[in-house]
Amino acid sequence: MRPALLLLTPLLLAACGDKPAPGWTGYAEAELVYIAPPVAGRLSELAVRSGEAVAAGQALFALDATPELAADAEAQARAQSARAQALDTDKGRRAPELAVTRAQLDQARAAERLAASDLARQQQLLTQGFVARARVDDATTTLAQARARVGELEAALQVAQLPARDDERSAARALAEAAQSGRAQTAWRVEQKRQNAPVAARVQDVFMRPGEWVAAGQPVLALLPPANRKARFYVPQSAVGGLRLDAAVSLHCDGCGAPIPARISFIANGPEYTPPVIYSNQQRDKLVFLVEARPVKTEDAERLHPGQPLDVTR
């Protein structure tokens, strides 16, 4: 018996010296991205389903945009009208209108020449004593009227070639800008009726179905990007002091294959006495700290499923 005990003693001592690697238990968790339209409407198109992988920019769903399209067409017409009016204030009158004024000016100048010729003839006749002084006065008045008419039409022609007054032009441009802003608002509402995936992700859940009314800000579906998968585990107060942010850990789960390399991304400032979810029957310390770790590689993150039990080792 004694020789056998002597042989077993080294083996027992060696076994006692091999302590298991420190580890903790936890679970996989996800930070979902809820996709909600900022405007209300009836869901007319659902382009994805739960569990489907989507690429960044891929169409997810669309709301009925009939009212917004009509409002956008009206706003676009208003903007075009205001813009045309603003441009019109920068121009003079049209060429045919200017041609009418020029023709009237030519007639007035011809009348002026005729009045000047008549005045000269009446003055000569007055000198010869063939007409009375009143005839010369009448001819003088007629010439003055003809010259005034010429001056009037010359001024009218000059004004017709000028743009509108500065204040009027400023008001027209302001109206055009306001109309363009209104059109931008309606165009934005039309655009928001269609929502695309902001990042590459997997559709975690779909909350609405085509035909249902979606309120503004109400999520239609939830996405789970790979970078938003993480491990949550609880570390006893006796071990939390040895952990640091970005420290490397390994995640183990049933059916996951090789361990998943991860880095600690969060360490709670305060302790907890009762973790909300814990997969362990051998929790010894009552005082624990919440720690989170994220997989280093995107492809490894896909192996984690929310709620999945995990073993974490250093």
- Cα–Cα distance, 75 to 238 (Å, whole number): 67
How many other CB atoms are there within 10 angstroms of residue 108's CB atom?
Answer: 20
- Cα–Cα distance, 10 to 204 (Å, whole number): 55
Check if the beta carbon of residue 234 is closer than 8 Å to that of residue 26: yes
Integer CA distances (angstroms), 48 to 192, 216, 224, 227, in order: 18, 20, 14, 21
- Cα–chain center distance at 184: 11
List the pLDDT tens digit at each of the 314 positions of the chain.
444 433 344 444 444 444 345 589 999 999 999 999 999 999 999 999 999 999 999 999 999 988 878 877 777 777 777 777 767 766 667 778 778 888 888 998 999 899 899 889 888 888 888 888 888 888 899 989 989 998 888 888 787 776 766 777 677 677 777 777 777 888 888 899 999 999 999 999 999 999 999 999 999 999 999 999 999 999 988 888 899 999 999 999 988 889 999 999 999 988 876 555 554 545 545 678 899 999 999 888 988 989 999 999 98
Q: Give all domains of the chain, ordered by start, each with its CATH number.
A: 24-31+225-313 (2.40.30.170), 92-162 (1.10.287)
The answer to whether the Cα torsion of 280, 284, 289, 295 is positive or negative is negative
Q: What is the pLDDT of residues 160-170, one digit of tens each?
A: 776 766 777 67
Phi, psi of 49 (to 5 degrees): -140, 165
Q: What is the pTM of this model?
A: 0.61
Which amino acid is present at 19?
A: K
The answer to whether the Cα torsion of 179, 185, 188, 189 is positive or negative is negative
- CA nearest neighbour of 149 among 99, 115, 182, 118: 115
Tokens representing residue 259 in the block = 């361990």
Integer CA distances (angstroms), 157 to 99, 112, 152, in order: 9, 18, 9
Integer CA distances (angstroms), 167 to 170, 180, 193, 240, in order: 5, 20, 40, 72
Strands 194-196 and 59-63: antiparallel
- CA nearest neighbour of 163 among 93, 92, 98: 92
Tokens representing residue 135 in the block = 């005839």
Q: What is the pLDDT of residues 218-237, one digit of tens each?
A: 999 999 999 999 999 999 88
Dihedral class, residue 33 (left if φ above 0, else alpha if ψ from -120 to 50, else beta): beta
